[in-house]
Amino acid sequence: MKNCDALRALLAPALLSIGMFAVPVALAQNSLPEPAFAPSNDSAPMPPKSVKSLDLSAIDKTADPCEDFYQYACGNWVKDNPVPADQTRWARSFSLLGERNRYLLWQQLDEAAKAPKTPLEKKYGDYYAACMNTSQIESKGLKPLEPAFKDIDALKDTKKLATLMGELAKAGDAAPLFQFGVGQDAKDSSKQIAQTGQGGLSLPDRDYYLSDSKRFQDLREKYVAHVTKMFTLAGDAPEKAAAEAADVLRIETALAQGSMDRVAMRNPDNRYHIYTVAKLEELAPNFNFATYWAAIKIGHFDTLNVSTPDFFKTVNELIEKEPAGAWKAYFRWHVLTAEAENLPKAFYDENFDFFGKTLNGQKEETPRWKECTALTDRALGEAVGQDWVKEHFPPQAKENMDKLVLALEKSLGDDIQTLPWMSDETKKAAEEKLSLIRNKIGYPEKWRDYSKLKVKRNDLLGNLRRESVFQRDYRLSKLGKPVDEKEWGMTPPTVNAYYSPSMNDINFPAGILQPPFYDFNADPAVNFGGIGVVIGHEMTHGFDDQGSKYDGKGNLREWQTADDRKKFTERTDCEVKEYDGFEASPAHDGMPAQNLKGALTLGENTADNGGLRIAYMALLDTLAAEHKSIDDKIDGYTEAQRYFLSFGQVWCQNQTDQSARQSAMTDPHSPGRWRANGSVQNFDEFGKAFGCKKGQPMYPEHSCRVW
Ligand SMILES: [Zn+2]
């Protein structure tokens, strides 16, 4: 669910991933007459084509790799693969493999829903079946939301907001306004402490509320129209609905004003403020925290991290300023929008129209089977995952990954040794941190226990609520307990990977260890350009502008000398400026061009650049051990060229303009074109491999280098 993902992003240790996808907000409607889980013919799941690793037919040979490498590596693919109607971004690697994994997972869920063979299959099969049962969703109408609406309606005094939020949270309904959870203490990673921070918005970023450009004014108008429509669908008279929508926008705009922006939030020092409970209560006396904490049943604590103190001042003022009626509209809206994807057709059509079509340019609703598969994976990921890996993750894949990770570790060690700008003292500290990185490959050693989660085959919203409470209880129960180093932040079929600064570990789910990233049958150049760069990317996250602030034990502590930190920042500033100059979307229809935000994407860009360099070094080592040369040719391309092409083709993509513009404001990852071109133009070995002339765009006189 939306709220869970947001919570994980802010309160769990920040996970720095390689992937490029946010979960689509809009869930699709299923137009079929059949009940239960049989998909209609036009949305019937089709086995997707297998994904190739290096694909020479994707290359646009009319382009010059020294002028625009992305166009060369991806041009034909981009031309032949427009964004499908049910997507907002379509990438050769992440999307194609994601579709494949989702299809295989669907097969598993569909079978489990029809004829479960184990209690675990029964549980996730029922979860999936309840989601697919759209006729039942239709017949229940808004009835499942009535208890929440009743609680909200009872609010008379704004000083009782904490009681209301507690009631909503207790029942598993959306209780927005701020985030609260348990996570590692940034300065003592062995401790699990209470954490709280900003939240409560519906649009993708604070700037959507605050920017006065015409584009955002228009979007806000459409947002208000959407909120109004949702209230009228829920039974309110049009004038009342319009007034409620105005309340919602006013409260959310005030919350946006009190929120820290994304770039500031990237700095872990900005998010670290240990408060006593008494001091937090002083900061926001209008909100009765003790009541709320009692309702969500968190154990006792005396101090907590308040990641965004100014935000709580805003909340406090707003409680004073806004009448109970406005707060009722705000909470009612959040309950509605949080569940819109799982309410009758009229609601999710309206929800899709705004969040899918208007905000992201998605043309058609996502087939229900895809969304129910994703929903089940999110809810019961380690239940479905343990059966999924039995079928789709051969033990040999793990052995091969262990070897690759070892090769990349050696390269990063060599890279640190030979860095021209770093003092010996800092090099030693960097090596120590590198030696402490833990590797997690494929799936967890120990699976989560779901026995306490009750799933009913005929009760989708009930399942979602019980799951929400189950997940919160699980997170909050960690308070004061030792950190579980074996826990995973992604499910096994996920096509992604991450580095956690507080854990100092790199994590590669089984889902990404397949073509086009990793191919048993491909030559080393192709695999190092694919999964090798992914591994190098995650390792480099430990040393990017955020990761480098944590030591090998995962504690926020400076380990660079002051002089080295200064040089480091000069180098990261070079990347900020460089990526600031890359265009995310051209000017059109009266809208100005939109560039990337170099400061927002800095960590990912640093990881891309470092990953490309150290995977190349690991390839050289591997070829040398096999007495091969980087200049040997296969299919007309040298090993070096095949390495860069395999890397470039990971990033082939198409994206709707709306989604590209949203990503440029909210996504810490650069779009595919710049992940490819930005990285190669900062790495001279590329220009040499393709015989470019110094001074050409992909082989510039001056480039940026951090690692
Ligand atoms: Zn990353």
pLDDT at 35 over 50: no
- List, in sequence order, the alpha helices (H) in 340-459: 345-351, 359-360, 368-392, 395-418, 424-436
Q: What is the pLDDT of residue 111?
A: 97
CB atoms within 10 A of CB 683: 20
- Give CA–CA dist 520/52, Å, rounded: 12
Percent of the chain clearing pLDDT 90 (strictly above): 91
Q: How far apart are the first and last CA of the chain?
A: 37
Number of helices and strands in the chain (H, E)? 29, 14
- Give CA–CA dist 330/336, Å, rounded: 10
In a 13 Å sphere around the CA of 692, the CA atoms on its Cβ side amount to 25
Q: What is the pLDDT of residue 366?
A: 96
180, 346 contact by CB (below 8 A): no
Q: What is the pLDDT of residue 8?
A: 37
- Give CA–CA dist 292/468, Å, rounded: 16
Q: Is residue 493 reached through a cis peptide bond, with omega within 30 degrees of 0 on the bond before it?
A: no
15: pLDDT confidence band, cut at 50, 70 and 90?
confident
pLDDT digits (tens, 9 = 90+) for 248-260: 999 999 999 999 9
Q: Point out the residues that are catalytic.
A: 538, 608
Distance 450 CA to ligand 1 centre (A): 30
pLDDT at 332 over 50: yes
Distance 22 CA to ligand 1 centre (A): 14
Distance 674 CA to ligand 1 centre (A): 14
pLDDT digits (tens, 9 = 90+) for 631-673: 999 999 999 999 999 999 999 999 999 999 999 999 999 999 9
- Of 3-17, 183-197, 457-471, 571-585, the range with the lowest mean pLDDT is 3-17
The most confident of the ranges 22-26, 397-401, 700-704 is 700-704
Distance 108 CA to ligand 1 centre (A): 30
Give the pair of three-digit tokens for residue 317. Answer: 């003022």
Distance 268 CA to ligand 1 centre (A): 16
Distance 186 CA to ligand 1 centre (A): 19
pLDDT digits (tens, 9 = 90+) for 104-119: 999 999 999 999 999 9
4: pLDDT confidence band, cut at 50, 70 and 90?
very low
CA 37 to chain centre: 28
- Give CA–CA dist 161/287, Å, rounded: 7
pLDDT at 577 over 80: yes
Amino acid, res. 568: F
pLDDT digits (tens, 9 = 90+) for 211-265: 999 999 999 999 999 999 999 999 999 999 999 999 999 999 999 999 999 999 9
Pairing of strands 637-638, 633-634: antiparallel
Distance 491 CA to ligand 1 centre (A): 17
Amino acid, res. 40: S
Mean pLDDT score, 585-600? 96
The CA–CA distances, whole Å, from 170 to 143, 147, 295 equal 18, 12, 6
Distance 668 CA to ligand 1 centre (A): 8
For the whole model, what pTM was predicted? 0.94
Q: What is the pLDDT of residue 14?
A: 63
Indicate the average pLDDT of the chain. 93
Mean pLDDT score, 533-545? 97
pLDDT at 343 over 50: yes
Distance 18 CA to ligand 1 centre (A): 4
pLDDT at 60 over 80: yes
pLDDT digits (tens, 9 = 90+) for 546-560: 999 999 999 999 999
The residues, ordered by sequence, that sit 6+ positions from 697 with a Cβ below 8 Å of its Cβ are: 66, 67, 68, 677, 681
6: pLDDT confidence band, cut at 50, 70 and 90?
very low
Distance 81 CA to ligand 1 centre (A): 25
598, 576 contact by CB (below 8 A): yes
Phi and psi of 496, rounded to 5°?
A: -170, 180
Phi and psi of 90, rounded to 5°?
A: -135, 110
Q: What is the pLDDT of residue 397?
A: 86
- Give CA–CA dist 141/674, Å, rounded: 46
43: pLDDT confidence band, cut at 50, 70 and 90?
low
- Of 2-16, 81-95, 684-698, the range with the lowest mean pLDDT is 2-16
* 438-442 β-sheet, strand order: 16-17, 498-500, 505-509, 438-442
The CA–CA distances, whole Å, from 390 to 104, 116, 287, 404, 523 equal 12, 16, 49, 22, 26
The CA–CA distances, whole Å, from 164 to 3, 333, 470, 600 equal 18, 14, 20, 36
- Give CA–CA dist 620/639, Å, rounded: 10
Phi and psi of 381, rounded to 5°?
A: -55, -40
Q: What is the pLDDT of residue 499?
A: 97
In a 13 Å sphere around the CA of 354, the CA atoms on its Cβ side amount to 24
- Helix (H) or strand (E) segment spanning residue 188: strand 188-198
Give the pair of three-digit tokens for residue 50. Answer: 């297998």
Distance 479 CA to ligand 1 centre (A): 28
Distance 17 CA to ligand 1 centre (A): 4
Distance 611 CA to ligand 1 centre (A): 10
Amino acid, res. 559: W
pLDDT at 29 over 70: no
Phi and psi of 696, rounded to 5°?
A: -70, 155
- Give CA–CA dist 153/164, Å, rounded: 10
Q: What is the pLDDT of residue 33?
A: 27
Phi and psi of 588, rounded to 5°?
A: -165, 155
pLDDT at 599 over 60: yes
Give the pair of three-digit tokens for residue 218. Answer: 């228009």
Give the pair of three-digit tokens for residue 661. Answer: 């513009």
pLDDT at 7 over 70: no
Residue of 423 and 4 predicted with greater confidence? 423
Pairing of strands 188-198, 303-306: parallel
